[in-house]
A and B are shown apart, each in its own frame.
Chain A
Amino acid sequence: MSSVVLASVSLENVLVIGALLFSIGLYVSLSKRNAVGILMGVELMLNAVNVTFLAFSRYVESPRPLDGQVFAMFVIAIAAAEAAVALALAVAVYRHRETVNIDEIDLLRW
């Protein structure tokens, strides 16, 4: 469509963006003290996975290229369910312990 091709977005570029988001999510979910913060990391990772799904669906040879998008939709649905349950857990824990810091919720530690 364009007469002047400046540059192009390749599959690798999108995958690296996905990897960046994933590793930030991994770092957040492993290092944060607050349970809500950990959940944020998990959501970031799920988003990164979705980016990867959609990138493959857009670029890679496949008999049914739209399957990547279908998978992304499933991931979104399950992430929503997971967020609801996880935040409910955080609120329930808060009722008992007055904190949602995971390093203080150590009742089972010997």
Chain B
Amino acid sequence: MIDDAGVVVAFWVIAVSTVVCALMVAAVRNLVHAVLFLALTFVGVAGIYIVLAADFVALVQVLIYAGAVGVLMTFAIMLTPAADRRNSETIFQAPAAVLAGLVLAIVTFVAYDTEWRISGRDAFPATAASLGEAFLKPYVVPFEVVSVLLMTAMIGAIVLTREEGDDV
């Protein structure tokens, strides 16, 4: 249970601004602005992680999402200079909105309807060390698989973006 007044206020401020930034991603009419609001959303989500006592995951979130993925997306927009940058919608806008609303309604209903087995535990103490243990003991095989996956993705990205006739 999180009931420290400062943390509660922080959570709601962060949560509302994160959702507003996420809405702006959908609403703004300029793709680059959308990416910037997305980066803000990532930072806000990192704030939510901190409220949920996941400090290490929050830092990794800022490092990878706001830093790397944000830059990557800006790069992709820069590398497609003649493409449409209006952030416009296809004909599926209305069905997508309906579907998203339905998902929101269902998940909210389920969240409030289920009897969760809430444990009254305190916030985790700093998690970096115990996460490291988890990665190297019970989860060592998935950890290695993820590293292979990242390597594969990197090579794949290079192969995909190589110009034909590049012999480097």
A interface residue numbers (CB < 8 A to B): 1-2, 4-28, 30-34, 36-37, 39-40, 43-44, 47, 50-51, 54-55, 57-62, 65-67, 69-70, 72-74, 76-85, 87-92, 94-95, 98-103
Q: How far is the CA of A76 from the CA of B35 in the complex (A)?
A: 18
Instruction: Kindly count the residue-residue contacts between A and B in the assembled complex, taking CB atoms under 8 Å apart.
Output: 272
Q: How far is the CA of A78 from the CA of B42 in the complex (A)?
A: 16
B interface residue numbers (CB < 8 A to A): 1-9, 11-12, 15, 18-19, 22-23, 25-26, 31, 34-35, 38, 41-42, 45, 48-49, 51-54, 56-57, 60-61, 64-65, 68-69, 72-73, 75-77, 79-80, 82-85, 87-93, 95-97, 99-101, 103-104, 107-108, 111-112, 116-119, 121, 123-124, 127, 130-131, 134-135, 139, 142, 146, 149-150, 152-154, 156-158, 160-161, 163
Asked if B117 and A81 sit within 8 Å, CB to CB, the answer is no
Asked if B4 and A22 sit within 8 Å, CB to CB, the answer is no
Asked if B76 and A91 sit within 8 Å, CB to CB, the answer is yes
Q: Can you give 23 A-B contacts (C-beta < 8 A)?
A: A11-B116, A20-B19, A23-B101, A30-B100, A31-B89, A33-B88, A34-B31, A36-B77, A43-B38, A43-B42, A43-B65, A44-B38, A51-B52, A59-B1, A60-B118, A70-B134, A70-B135, A73-B135, A76-B64, A80-B68, A84-B154, A88-B157, A90-B80
